[in-house]
Amino acid sequence: MTSICIDRIDHLVLTVADIEATVDFYERVLGFRGVTYGNGRRALAFGRQKLNLHPAAAPIPPHAVRPCPGAADFCFVARDTIEGVLAHLAVCGVPIIEGPVRRTGALGPMTTVYLRDPDANLVEIAVYD
């Protein structure tokens, strides 16, 4: 039997209620870069990945079976201390809903905090040991 070897995630799609509010949040709070591509579509770039943004009122086909705002739960890794992450989120006025707590990520032990974006998606920001 043969198999393929997946290297990384290229992009994920977020279905959102307000694309510009989402771009503002991720640029301001997480330092992502809002980009426009194709026929005026919007995305958020960071590292070697991006989040494509689909409007909830008109999801772009093909799409998930039940695309809706607030259904995502994902973790981003920060190049900072957890104290630096907490300080930045406080300056941005973003409430922490849980953490800092210890978790195990794809590469081992990490400390993480949880927050919500404008669509109430669960956003985890982690710092590896």
Those residues with Cβ within 8 angstroms of residue 72's Cβ, 6 or more apart along the chain or in another chain: 12, 14, 119, 121, 122
* pLDDT band per the 50, 70, 90 thresholds, residue 95: very high
The residues that are catalytic are 124
Asked if residue 83 has pLDDT above 80, the reply is yes
pLDDT in tens, 17-74: 999 999 999 999 999 999 999 999 999 999 999 999 999 999 899 999 999 999 999 9
Amino acid at 13: V
Q: What global pTM score does this model have? A: 0.93
CATH number of the structural domain 11-128: 3.10.180.10
Supply the angle between the helices 19-30 and 82-92 in degrees, to the nearest 10.
130
- Triad 73, 16, 33: Cα angle to 5°: 80
